[in-house]
Structure 1
Amino acid sequence: MQSLVHFLSSRMGNDFKILNWNPIQKCILVFILFIQIKVLWIIWKAYIFLTPEVQIFVYLSEVRLQLYIEFFEIFVAVLFIVGLLLISKSRKGEVILPYLSVNVFGLTLIFDAYMAGVFSPNTMTNAVCYLFVGFILFNVRVMLSVITSLAITIGVISDQTIKGNLVNAPLFNFETIGTPEYLNGFWMGSIAYFTFPIIIICILLLLLILKQWRERESYIAHLVQFDALTDVYNRRKLTEILQHLDRGKKHAILMLDLDHFKQVNDRYGHLIGDQVLISAAEVLKANIRSTDILGRYGGEEFLIILNDTDEKNARSIAERCLRALAEIEHPLTHDSTFNVTASMGIAFLYQGINVKDALNSADIALYQAKAEGRNQIRFSKDILG
């Protein structure tokens, strides 16, 4: 059993989110659903063979023949699943196999639909469920191919049934079922049995897919607003926040740049550099107020927006951040660490000052802090006089 689980995990991947599966993995799901449908048919036939009083409502020879066919179909479906698992990473297979799998699934179930009645309520309901799930799992071309093949096949069967060349629902003996059919408990029970389990399976599958869809949308929304490395706001989101700040209040813009960061990357490598950025972001988050906003503005540069604050508070928070950054012991080896300082320029945004000018002032102040020795703070007014 463990070897089977390992085999499935290695072929299907550890990510069991259906939306992340490749087309071949989705084909495997189709055949698993196919086997479940066949098992429902087998259970129904077992009930008939174990319940003599309902046998008058069916043709036992047809029931027995279809039972043999279903066992064979399950065997073939298992072979398909094994084969698909073995080639689950084939690029060519991802293009071709969805067409084959979906059409095999659809055309095989047409035989079941014919045996139970092409015009029966369960056939129509189940067809809608399958198509709906199919359009979510596969691209439009794949689904149009199966719709075309099914429409032609069902059209021929319907035409021949209307003309009397084919028997409608050959499994059932309508002479004993009587007319109207809905007065017969066995007939109605059979229709319900082949309708509701499929609806429930499809609804559960759709709920799972929709849940994963929402998670994916949430993740994409997160990526649009947050920096992938440090998990703080990115430049686009920071710009958006700045544009919507209440200009009736005074806000401090802190432009922070890690000192000599290029040397860190050159000397220790980019992986160490990335860890320095992650640690810096964590320390900055811990040293600003809950109402303040932190983001990565680009490279080793961070931007902090202090909402509704004055110069005194801005300086206090800025000094606390620089002090905390300088105290971080960045690990290099098990017994070796190094420190990285930062420089900061501060400007204010309020009524009459546009965002571009405020950012430019903070950037000029930052440049001045670096030019005067780094690891220090400069306010834009210090430069402008």
Structure 2
Amino acid sequence: MLFLAICVLSLWLSWKFFILFNPKLYQYVNIELLYFQIKLNIGFILMFGILIYLCRKLRHSLTAQKIMPFICVGMFGITLCRDGYLIGVLSPATAIGAISVISVGLILFERKVIYTALIPSLIFLGSIVYLTLNGKIAYAPQFNTASSITFFPFTNQFWVFSMLFFMIPIVVSCFVLQEIMLSQWRHREQIFKTLSTIDPLTELFNRRSIYQQLEKIEQNLIFSTESYGIILLDLDFFKSINDCYGHLVGDKVLIQVAQTLRQNVRLHDIVGRYGGEEFIMIINDNNQMLTRHIAERCRHALSQLNLTTTDGQNILITASFGIAYLKSGTSVQQALHHADAAMYRAKSAGRNSIVLA
């Protein structure tokens, strides 16, 4: 916001210096006020530069973090009100500039910070309008009241180009700032969305995400003859691994199992961590043969894993698999219940095996 204020003031200075070097334009402006405003603008630029330095210097101070936004936004509001009064509070540049800056401010700062500066600014501008309408003060004193620019501004090229010169950079700057911030928000939203659907340890889909995908599949199957195989598997004696070697080793086992499962399914198949040492795979299988084949391939791959601890002890990994099918007329809960029951029958049958519901 402070950099934007310096940019706005720099634009004002360039406009005023342009007039100074073009004497034929003197007829349209209050030249004495112009000289004074140049000095004032330079002073404000230096002041905003000091504020930027203080913000960087005190960025770790909690007190400064609370106070500086009010000071910076307040000073920026004073600058805009002053400039708005000079060129006309009802001019297009004042209106569009105020709307653009307020919209960016509401994104950058807390609302109370913006409203603390906005309410006094609106009162000030409203008072200027009232005093102008009642002839107490001159309207747009930066321009020469003796010229036609005061009475017919839209027919005067100097006034029109001045308004465009003030408006376009502010609008473009605010648009770019908003686009940058919105892009960051979209990126952050995507990160949060990913974190809410992915298990952080194994980087597989988590249980919540699995349920959401199964519900979508269930809806699609209402008018379809397709079927999906659901494979539930539970690592055998995983509690013993945690008890004997510790949870860090247990986590490494889970990560290795997740990688192995991903390597033994197709790209469009769904693999997730169902909870604890349980995993789930969802296979698009119309002939109900592929699911059994993939389950067997995963079972064999897990049994061939060569995991060793830091002291050289081998860890044997096996899993019990249960298979059920989700198709039209079968609910997600029914399919999961059947797969879970089949998995426990595999455990009862001696583990390291596959049972079809």
TM-score w.r.t. structure 2 length?
0.86
Residue 177 of structure 2 corresponds to: 205
Residue 167 of structure 1 corresponds to: 138
SS of the residue 1:174 aligns to? coil
Q: State whether structure 2 residue 219 is matched by structure 1 residue 242.
A: no
Q: Give the C-alpha shift of residue 192 in structure 1.
A: 0.8
Q: Give the C-alpha shift of residue 365 in structure 1.
A: 2.7
Q: State whether structure 2 residue 102 is matched by structure 1 residue 125.
A: no
Residue 77 of structure 1 corresponds to: 48
Unaligned ranges ≥5, structure 2: none
TM-score w.r.t. structure 1 length?
0.80
Contact 2:80 2:98 survives alignment (8 Å): no
Residue correspondence of structure 1 range 63-142 to structure 2 within 5 A: 63-142=34-113
Q: Give the C-alpha shift of residue 94 in structure 1.
A: 4.3
Q: State whether structure 2 residue 187 is matched by structure 1 residue 215.
A: yes
Unaligned ranges ≥5, structure 1: 1-29, 381-385
Q: Give the C-alpha shift of residue 362 in structure 1.
A: 1.9
Q: State whether structure 2 residue 156 is matched by structure 1 residue 184.
A: yes
SS of the residue 2:55 aligns to? helix
Cα deviation digits, residues 61-86 of structure 1 (max 9, x gap)? 22222122222212221222222223
Cα deviation digits, residues 135-165 of structure 1 (max 9, x gap)? 2223333333222111111122222233333
Residue 26 of structure 2 corresponds to: 55
Contact 1:234 1:297 survives alignment (8 Å): yes
Q: State whether structure 2 residue 122 is matched by structure 1 residue 151.
A: yes
Contact 1:103 1:149 survives alignment (8 Å): no
From 188, 209, 228, the counterpart of 2:200:
228
Q: Give the C-alpha shift of residue 327 in structure 1.
A: 3.9
From 226, 231, 234, the counterpart of 1:257:
234
SS of the residue 2:167 aligns to? helix
SS of the residue 2:140 aligns to? coil
Say which is worse superposed, 149-158 or 254-263, in terms of deviation. Answer: 254-263
From 282, 286, 289, the counterpart of 2:263:
286
Counterpart CA distance in 1 for 2:299 and 2:54 is 60
Q: How many residues align?
A: 351
Contact 2:28 2:144 survives alignment (8 Å): yes
Cα deviation digits, residues 262-297 of structure 1 (max 9, x gap)? 455455554554444334323322211234221221
Counterpart CA distance in 1 for 2:350 and 2:64 is 61
SS of the residue 1:175 aligns to? coil
Cα deviation digits, residues 291-340 of structure 1 (max 9, x gap)? 42212211222111122245542221112112333444557669998564
Cα deviation digits, residues 173-232 of structure 1 (max 9, x gap)? 132454412232222111110011111111111222222333333333333433333333
Counterpart CA distance in 2 for 1:81 and 1:328 is 59
Q: Give the C-alpha shift of residue 378 in structure 1.
A: 2.6
SS of the residue 1:141 aligns to? helix
Counterpart CA distance in 2 for 1:33 and 1:334 is 61
Counterpart CA distance in 1 for 2:3 and 2:63 is 22
Counterpart CA distance in 2 for 1:274 and 1:84 is 44
Counterpart CA distance in 2 for 1:150 and 1:364 is 69
Residue 298 of structure 1 corresponds to: 275
Percent of aligned pairs with the same amino acid = 37
Residue 375 of structure 1 corresponds to: 352
Counterpart CA distance in 2 for 1:125 and 1:150 is 15
Residue 294 of structure 2 corresponds to: 317
Counterpart CA distance in 2 for 1:275 and 1:44 is 66
Contact 2:264 2:298 survives alignment (8 Å): yes
